[in-house]
Amino acid sequence: MKVFIVSQYFWPENFRINDLTRGLVERGHEVCVLTGTPNYPAGRFFKGYGLFQKTIDDYHGAKIIRVPIVPRGNGSEIQLALNYFSFALISTLFAVVLSIRRFDIVFVCQLSPVTVGIPAVILKKLTRVPIVYWILDLWPESLSAAGAATSKYVFSFVDRVVRFIYRGCDRILVGSKGFIPSVVSRGVEQRRIEYFPNWYEPEYRIVQRSCRPAISRLLPSGFRVMFAGNIGVAQNFECILNAAEKLRNHVDIHWIVLGEGRKLQWVKEEVLRRDLTTNFHMLGRYEAAEMPDFFSQADAMLVTLRRDPMFAITVPGKIQSYMACARPVIAALDGEGVMLIEEAEAGLTSPAEDSDALAANVLRMYGMPKEDREAMGRRGRQYCEMHFDRDILIDKLDLWMKEVVIQKNIPLAR
């Protein structure tokens, strides 16, 4: 089939849509990706990219069309709004132009923002091409959860946009089962919804600590609690910093943070203000391919979220990545993510925003025999292999897309 993917974020930005695209190409599909100029999470264009640089690219055989957008900048509400709507507007114009080409199906990867679905719906109205829509960030609920907007008029407007997009979709995939009630409440029949979770990507694998001594030399010696990913409002770094303060007298416990994001500067300033520089280490952003090597040097991996009903039905993708690398997990969050870790017996959990409980779990993990921690990690890896296997999930997607095309009774593009 000829598959047209719409995703505001794509390689070299680090998201699972990259691996999904590769998987579809591996299955013989002809794939074209419509995306923006890469600038996540730092808010500035990646080196070598710009508004009119590298607008056509290739990724493992998939053609990439990059549209010019306003970068995220410092992550302010105005900057994010410009970022979101510039992609929606310009990619819609590109979709109109691309409507002269024939595609068999459109696949939309919807992280934030929901407006990524607009060009797909417009393309469908022009060509009748069916849409499969993958929800990884639930709107408008996520606006409140991330503290991005508070106006009831904004929520009302976004709700209408969401309903418009959902009505235009032939199949809706949800990254968490907790999303289903919200999708149904906006007029989508249950039969059009499928559960399609994150999987662990091939590069997330078990690496022996002794294999990368160079990385080990970058890190402090002692008990290493490692966080990897976006440093934003949703991740609630205040809870992490509070827990680190409570354990400041345990000089052998080190908090290591890999990543960037809109709260990066605030976290750096707080580390200085709280006099945590001896035990709290901000190492910056590294490529996804290097993450398993870093993870292998950690004694525990950390995942946190704010307390919010939206986040309680969200499973952060980093959980699967941590577990796939057979590392024990310490989590301070609620709901679906907690249930996953506890069902896998892959780590220790505490409620979101409870820094006392988080500190207690770090101490508990610190006091465990290494063999017990490693056993937790192995159980996490086994659970991933059973429930989050990449090839099994992409095979399911392949089947669903073919079903949608057959149901539409539209001849395949040639």
d(CA 257, CA 246): 18
d(CA 86, CA 70): 6
Pairing of strands 62-67, 56-59: antiparallel
Helix, strand, coil percentages in the chain from 3-state DSSP, rounded to 5? 45, 15, 35
Beta partners for residue 280, in sequence order = 255
| Contact in structure between 135 and 110 (CB atoms under 8 Å) | yes
d(CA 339, CA 308): 16
d(CA 111, CA 114): 7
pTM above 0.75, yes or no: yes
Q: Compute CA distances 138 → 69, 110, 114, 256, 346, whole Å.
A: 23, 9, 8, 29, 26
| Contact in structure between 56 and 66 (CB atoms under 8 Å) | yes
Both tokens of 114, joined, read 């929901």
- In the chain, the percentage of residues whose pLDDT exceeds 70 is 97
Three-class HEC string of 356-406: HHHHHHHHHHHHCCHHHHHHHHHHHHHHHHHHCCHHHHHHHHHHHHHHHHH
- Tens digits of pLDDT across the chain (414 residues): 999 999 999 999 989 999 999 999 999 999 999 999 999 988 899 999 998 888 999 999 999 999 999 999 887 888 988 999 999 999 999 999 988 888 999 999 999 899 999 999 999 999 999 999 999 999 888 776 655 556 778 888 889 999 999 999 999 999 998 999 999 999 999 999 999 998 988 888 888 876 677 788 889 999 999 999 999 988 999 999 999 999 999 999 999 999 998 899 999 999 999 999 999 999 999 888 899 999 999 999 999 999 988 889 988 889 999 999 999 999 999 999 999 999 999 999 999 999 999 999 999 999 999 999 999 999 999 999 999 999 999 999 999 999 999 987 767 766
Residue 29: the pLDDT is 97
Residue 211: the pLDDT is 64
DSSP, collapsed to helix, strand or coil, labels residue 283 as strand
d(CA 60, CA 390): 17
d(CA 411, CA 414): 9
d(CA 403, CA 398): 9
DSSP, collapsed to helix, strand or coil, labels residue 16 as helix
Beta partners for residue 284, in sequence order = 258
d(CA 195, CA 178): 10
Structural domains of the chain, with CATH: 2-199+389-408 (3.40.50.2000), 209-387 (3.40.50.2000)
Both tokens of 33, joined, read 């990706």
DSSP, collapsed to helix, strand or coil, labels residue 43 as coil
Residue 408: the pLDDT is 76
Q: What residue spans of 180-236 are helical by DSSP H?
A: 180-185, 213-218
